[in-house]
Amino acid sequence: MANVAVIGAQWGDEGKGKIVDWLAERADMVVRFQGGHNAGHTLVVGDKTYKLSLLPSGLVRGTPSVIGNGVVLDPWALKAEIARLGEQGVVATPDVLRIADTCPLILPFHRDLDALREDASGAGKIGTTRRGIGPAYEDKVGRRAIRVCDLAHLDDLGPQLDRLTAHHDALRAGFGEPPIDRDRLIADLREIADFVLPFAKPVWRDLNAARAAGKRILFEGAQGVLLDIDHGTYPFVTSSNTVAGAAASGSGIGPSGVGFVLGIAKAYTTRVGSGPFPTELDTPVGEQLGIRGHEFGTVTGRKRRCGWFDAVLVRQSAAVGGITGIALTKIDVLDGFESVSICTGYTLRGETLDYFPAHAADQALVEPVYETMEGWSESTAGARSWADLPAQAIKYIRRIEELIRCPVTLVSTSPERDDTILVRDPFAD
């Protein structure tokens, strides 16, 4: 049986939470491998709705879950999320949740810096969640980070704090802020250490042991390929690699262990925050998509921008993201439209393009080329087999497959986990 990695094929918010939950019931372990608590996954289980930001979705099912080394961890956000889930009856103990002891920590001054930069950026705002994700990743690659394992050695933290404060105090002074209070920081870390350390493990050992035992591992990505730091719409991207390759480096299992890569894409396109969006509809149709799809960010609550399906971008995501098959979500949102459109290419200064250009100036000027298809009046909501879908909806799905050069593996027809059409079993490959 194959392992499965789930990644977003658009700008995040594609409905990964439901798909991961659907797969997690059949997995032996679920792993988060990048991002932080800037991610947002919504799970609907029966009459309960769970909103996760940092914790792997497998916890809701009681599936052993791992936060890998590629994640940046806010220990206070972790504690709050565990408490919130506990109120809903989901218990996260060290028996079911393990955290890589090499995870970098998000600290209070990371959140401060994130907000200070964004407020000072004017028209250049990236649209971050202001949760300190980017600054924490900067400290990781700058070799200044305090990691989970350091919580057990706080008395030896002096040299690391010297490097850290030398960098951050200069930045803070530039914004008119006081230097980091080292004594307060150490006191805060001592207070949270007792909560975090029982979860800390060399999780790469657990994952490789699980793989050797033939267990099914589900890798849960956050955000989407179009937000990847290397392959996304730079600079309006996240601070980590969101492609399937990051599942290996962000967990310690090695690239041959990742297995089937399932890309999640909505049957239309949405984006939260700033950045290019060729098929955005600033029209009543776009408004209608947002209302029907309940398009508000899980973490930020911000209204999502909406537009038609962009086959060029998803084809690009499938190529650079290593996607084996697509899970197409929210097809039911398109029910009742007289016609539906798909972007099949772009024009830029009179030239036809079959890819999205890298430079922001070119990205802003591309014009989508649309193919319009007849819509369907029948409902797809709750469909669980091809026979339940209208003929035009099936034609739409098949045309998307042709254009993105990647097969549709699953079709999701509502937020309910069982309202899913399985075309190909990712775990069987």
Catalytic residues: 13, 41
Q: What is the DSSP letter of 289?
A: H
Question: What are the CA-CA distances from residue 423 to residues 85, 325, 343 (Å)?
Answer: 32, 10, 24
Residue whose C-alpha is closest to residue 85's, from 120, 61, 108, 103: 61
Q: Is residue 240 within 8 Å of residue 278, measured between CB atoms?
A: no
Residue whose C-alpha is closest to residue 213's, from 28, 425, 429, 21: 28
In sequence order, what DSSP letters do the residues of 143-205 get, joined into one string? Answer: T---BGGGGG-GGG-HHHHHHHHHHHHHHHHHTTPPPP-HHHHHHHHHHHHHHHGGGEE-HHH
Bridge partners (DSSP) of residue 341 are 372
Alpha carbon distance, N-terminus to C-terminus of the chain: 6
> What is the phi/psi pair of residue 283, to 5°?
-140, 175
Q: Is residue 11 within 8 Å of residue 224, measured between CB atoms?
A: yes
Other Cβ atoms closer than 10 A to 125: 14
Separation between Cα atoms, residue 224 and residue 88, nearest integer Å: 28
Separation between Cα atoms, residue 131 and residue 38, nearest integer Å: 7
In a 10 Å sphere around its CB, with 0-12 CB exposed, 13-18 middle and 19+ buried, how is residue 309 labelled? buried
Q: What is the DSSP letter of 104?
A: B
Question: What are the CA-CA distances from residue 37 to residues 23, 95, 96, 245 (Å)?
Answer: 22, 22, 19, 21
Residue whose C-alpha is closest to residue 33's, from 73, 80, 61: 73
Separation between Cα atoms, residue 172 and residue 329, nearest integer Å: 43
Question: What are the CA-CA distances from residue 124 to residues 108, 117, 230, 274 (Å)?
Answer: 24, 10, 19, 9
Length of the chain: 429
Rg over CA atoms, the chain = 22
Separation between Cα atoms, residue 148 and residue 145, nearest integer Å: 10
